[in-house]
Amino acid sequence: MFKNSLYLCLIVCFPLFALCQEPLDVTTKTNRQTLSKVLEGDFNRFFNLEEKARIALSPEEMNIHYKTGGFQEYIDIYLVMNKDQRLLSSKLIVSREWMKGANLKFAIDIIKSFVLEFSIDKEHIQPLADKLWNFGTDMEPELTDENLIGCFDVFQGKTMSYTFNYKDQGFVFNNKKGESGVYVFVVEVN
């Protein structure tokens, strides 16, 4: 599973970086979280991240693979850190097959929590998190920001992908068929 997920990440995510309208220089950002802050934060405390592997991407960058405490076969998290242990990008991969029925609320919880945790401007992304959390209920709010609407359309399966830049961050929401034939939902914040 890890091998397929890694290949899927390479196939799905790296080409999407090229599609961004404005290239982002994430290597020089000083407002990025440190790895220790991520691991001490609420996201890790709630989802109980467990490190599975570290892969050097270059002498300057390390890709760290995590699994959640539960449902490990359906969820992968990748954090790319610079040599100063600052976050350059974060990626969440969730099996679409698992994102239904009784598991849907947990899938929504980790997706909305991930987007909030790794977004620099939480206030801007909060309406998307609220929409996700209240998905399918009477309290589901309307989105007015076209970028957040695009992301939500990917979550619902209406479109295959949506990419946008906001301030100094890039967001990628993607549905992709993996090598094993299982569709996955990918969220990337960089």
pLDDT in tens, 99-142: 999 999 999 999 999 999 998 888 988 999 999 999 988 888 88
Is 0.95 surpassed by the pTM of this model?
Answer: no
Using CB atoms within 10 Å of the CB of residue 40, give its burial: 0 to 12 exposed, 13 to 18 middle, 19+ buried: exposed
Backbone angles phi, psi at 37, to 5 degrees: -65, -40
Residue 14 confidence (pLDDT): 36
Evaluate whether 162 touches 150 at the Cβ level (below 8 Å): yes
DSSP-derived 3-state class of residue 32? coil
Residue 121 confidence (pLDDT): 86
